[in-house]
Amino acid sequence: MKKAIGYFSVFILSSVAATGFAADWDGVPIPAPAGAGKTWQLQSISDEFNYAASPTFKPTEFNSRWVPSFINSWTGPGDSEFNAGHSYTSGGSLALQSSAKAGTNKIYTGIISSKETFTYPLYLEARVKHTGNTLANAVWMLSADSTQEIDAMESYGSDRAGQEWFDQRMHVSHHVFIRSPFQDYQPKDEGSWVVNPAGGTWRGAMHVYGVHWKDPWNLDYYIDGVKVRTVSGPAMIDPYNFTNGTGINKPLHIIIDVEHQDWRDVRPTAAELADTSKSIMFVDWIRVYKPVTSSATSSSNSVSSSSSSLSNSSSSSATTVIDFANYFDTGKSTASVAGDTYVGFNKSGSGNINYNTAGDWADYLVTLPSDGQYNIEVTTASPMTSGIGAKLSIDGIYVSTTSLAATGGWELYSASTLANNLSIGAGTHTVRIESTGTSAWQWNGDEIRVTKVGSAAVGSPTTPAPVAMIIQAESFSATGGVYDGFKTYSVNGVSAINYNQRGDWADYAINVAADGSYTFNAYVSSPMSGAALEVSVDGVKVLTQAVPNNGSWDSFQKVSSVSKIALTKGAHTIRVTSAGATSSTWEWNADKFELVP
């Protein structure tokens, strides 16, 4: 279960945040010994996935560690096709999805690979819930030349009849290869297939899988803190001397993926791939340790034994300063403005931004060292005499809208306060600044300053209020259907979906802040009579909504559901399906969807 690292709720202009900044793996002992006079030191690749990463956007926390692809241009084994849009976070876990590639026999699968390589001695461990559709799920390590490999876990879960043997076993193994002419050795003994000691399947629950790479000739494997296998010596590691006597000694990338392996004579069915309860591998966390002498201090690629957070901010004892140009994402919430050739904030040099028009926004990471009361200021410049402002949100929750004063020029900067005495918990938060007001052209930005003004203890967390969610129609995690699913296009300055025919669908991963009943708004356009959409939550149909004929494919208008959708706090999958009765199969185009409490 996830531990809260930062909880933010707002009431008017004050908030109450949960204290504590603990790693998700705190309380989970490291089962492998570090060695005499040694202690384990956590490495910075370790990841709790407690950040927002979508199929189309990965934040700094992800990009500093991982790439959403293989370590080279290879696209996967068998019928796999690794797809960057099939990796994202959901409910504080990494999600790696599998889905059918329309019109082909290929299967899109999710993958992430570490940017860094690692060598022995180390201990790697991940908490994983694997798929249930016969595909391989793996946490593994591979050398850059693909000649040495360690598999911490490799599963083939399925509830399909005839697949019980694989479903009840976890594969823990290693490979050594010669690439030309191709030769592959891995142990074939029964001990590499670990039976669940509780009986039955490994599928359906989180388990912790670990490997202790002690040296080139010794590997220990662990499941749920229990050593399940030891592989030692040349006779088990490399009996045919493929490594020329070195054993497994090369630096290895860490890879987490879902894939179809061509030695298996089974494939997931279309229904299994469409069933999100079976088609997504979840990784709660992964941690990697190196042994150091007990008195050693942190090195450049290590962090403390709890958790690590990355930030695009600098700080003094009381003030955290963020350059406006140091955002990790930017965009626009409104229609484009004539003459503005940039979507979102434009980096103009020296840490500043310009070409900022109404509706432009950017997201920033800020790490606060302690609980307390904070003021938030922005330093901006504008010759506009009225109609300029800034809207502030923190961790997806609206805080305030502030009018900004004219400064007399685009480079004459002045500070304005966006919020006073906000009670914010320690940890890493996402701060969004959006330009707002009646003026089309807004302001240039220099700095965002977060200053601690009080050390009063933050009280107990309050019950969060439901908040509105915007789902961009093109930001689906998977799509499919009778006619190949949704396609994306750009029109009138926005991205949207089209080529949508009856029976096509798309899945969207959402994270609901609080229990509540939500109106579903669809921003859609169609020249067809009889068009409709159907909404399902976690595989259960919840509503069908007619889409009116407005005579156009590109004039998006809001259509609201008559009934509300009851949603519980946490991660959910929303599926939107075209479900009308038009005279042809063509249905509707869409810009975005909303869930509004």
Buried b (16+ CB within 10 A) or exposed e, 349-365: eeebbbbbbbbbbbbbb
Q: Is the CB of residue 420 less than 8 Å from the CB of residue 375?
A: yes
Annotated catalytic residue: which of 48, 125, 154, 434?
Answer: 154
Query: Within 13 Å and on the Cβ side, how many CA atoms surround 85?
Result: 14
Pairwise CA distance, residues 187 & 289, whole Å: 26
Q: Is 513 exposed, middle or buried (0-12, 13-18, 19+ CB in 10 A)?
A: buried
Pairwise CA distance, residues 313 & 320, whole Å: 7
Annotated catalytic residue: which of 48, 125, 149, 377?
Answer: 149
Q: Collapsing DSSP states into helix, strand and coil, what is residue 481?
A: coil
Residue 474 a catalytic site member: no
Q: Is the CB of residue 12 less than 8 Å from the CB of residue 26?
A: no
Q: Which of 458, 457, 453, 456 is nearest to 377 (CA)?
A: 453
Q: Is the CB of residue 11 less than 8 Å from the CB of residue 20?
A: no
Buried b (16+ CB within 10 A) or exposed e, 201-226: bbbeebbbbbbbbbebbbbbbbbbee
Q: What is the DSSP track for 243-265?
A: TTT--S-S-EEEEEEEE--TTS-
Q: Is the CB of residue 210 less than 8 Å from the CB of residue 152?
A: yes
Q: Collapsing DSSP states into helix, strand and coil, what is residue 137?
A: strand
- Residue labelled with tokens 């919020």: 419
Pairwise CA distance, residues 541 & 158, whole Å: 25
Residue 149 a catalytic site member: yes
Residue 513 CA: distances (Å) to CA of 254, 329, 516, 565: 32, 21, 9, 14
**Beta-strand pair 80-82/107-109:** parallel
Pairwise CA distance, residues 222 & 27, whole Å: 17
Residue 41 CA: distances (Å) to CA of 61, 258, 300, 386: 20, 29, 12, 55
Pairwise CA distance, residues 321 & 246, whole Å: 50
Instruction: Give the ranges where 292-416 is alpha helix by DSSP (H).
Output: none
Triad 52, 53, 57: Cα angle to 5°: 130
* DSSP summary character for residue 465: P
* Rounded-to-10 torsion of CA 554, 555, 557, 561: -40
Pairwise CA distance, residues 415 & 387, whole Å: 17
Q: Is the CB of residue 571 less than 8 Å from the CB of residue 510?
A: yes
Length of the chain: 597
Neighbours of 105 (CB within 10 A): 9
Triad 225, 169, 144: Cα angle to 5°: 75
Pairwise CA distance, residues 544 & 60, whole Å: 38
What's the gap between Cα 460 and its chain centre? 28
Q: Which residues are catalytic?
A: 149, 154
